Amino acid sequence: MSPSVISRLMNPAGSKSPAAGELAGMGIVLGVLVVSFSLLSDRFLTGATFDSIAFQLPELGLLALAMLIPLLSGGLNLAITFSANFSALVMAWVVGWLGGPEAGMSGILLGMLAALLSGALIGWALGAIVAYTGAHPILASLAMMIFLRGLGEFLTRGGSVSGFPDALVGLGQGTWLGIPVPLLVFAACAALWALILNRTRLGFSIYMLGSNTEATRYSGISTRRALTLVYVLSGVMCAVAGIIMTSRFNSVRVGHGEAYLLITVLACFLGRVDPFGGFGRVAPVVMALIILQVISSGLNLLGTNQHLATALWGGILIAVMVVRYLWGRLRDRRRRRR
């Protein structure tokens, strides 16, 4: 597979490119899942299922987008959930300072802006450490994660912050034209990510430096700047996730969504992101997220334990790796025979 700017763009539906084949394959898996669940339970194909997926997908999805770009750059961001909640805390303080539950629309917007700025700042600090000191992203983001967790717990005394205006809660729980608002936010963010990755110089540079940072630097790309921006983008996306989580739960707690961290990595790899960086696209990752969410909701409907769904998620990734390996071998053998 050689996804590049051209194939990513000139050939979005490209029936013959392997990337499109992969997407089609995931579509088939999704179809099989939907059909089996609806055969097993007549409550599956209902609005309620759609609603539950539509409200749960965005949280995990936004965090997966925050994980995607560092992965493409050959790194990792372990601080995503705490960046999200810390940024949400910043929003909570600004909103609280501007009137708490009585805060007006301007108060809410200011709060969101503060959250986005906080996310960007956290990302910038992390990115600068990775880009300028050459620290390994796993270590740098691990340190950032522990720092944010400790600071957050200290400032909230381990509790949660609540008391938000109804308008903010409406963002997390409301619908627009019948579609849940969080889902719209997620769709917009995914589209924005695809645009940045496919059509901007920064996106181009992220793919290149993800494969070979030094060769990219020798080509005249400011790799330090690009690498810093990778984590700034990641931090901003964390803040968006933090805002959505806050509005859904009507409260902020530092430990919200902690379990999502490694699931986002799983979703990215399932969505064919190269663990060594340089290759991966937004659309298959979104598809992988949908598949994971359908499995979780379907099993939930069948009355099985939630932990079974988690086990199944891991099992699927293992199965996918084995199938990809066998598929690759088969293709090689066919090519050699030709």
Contact residues for another protein, defined by CB under 8 A: 2, 4-7, 9-10, 195, 198-201, 204-205, 207-208, 211-212, 214-222, 278-279, 336-338
**Residue given tokens 């906080």 in the structure block:** 118
Strand partners, 180: 175
What's the CA angle centered on 127, arms 122 and 128, to 5 degrees? Answer: 100
18 vs 255, beta carbon nearer another protein = 18
**Residue given tokens 């961290």 in the structure block:** 261
19 vs 90, beta carbon nearer another protein = 19
175 vs 212, beta carbon nearer another protein = 212
- Read out DSSP for 198-242? HHSHHHHHHHHHHH-HHHHHHTT--HHHHHHHHHHHHHHHHHHHH
Cα–Cα distance for residue pair 190/81, rounded to 1 Å = 18
- Beta carbon of residue 212, minimum distance to another protein (angstroms, whole number): 5
Buried b (16+ CB within 10 A) or exposed e, 294-332: bbbbbbbbeeeeeeebbebbeebbeebeeeeeeeeeeee
Cα–Cα distance for residue pair 71/264, rounded to 1 Å = 11
93 vs 204, beta carbon nearer another protein = 204
- Beta carbon of residue 338, minimum distance to another protein (angstroms, whole number): 7
108 vs 282, beta carbon nearer another protein = 282
- Beta carbon of residue 268, minimum distance to another protein (angstroms, whole number): 18
- Beta carbon of residue 334, minimum distance to another protein (angstroms, whole number): 12
- Beta carbon of residue 284, minimum distance to another protein (angstroms, whole number): 17
* Tokens of residue 338, six digits: 């030709």
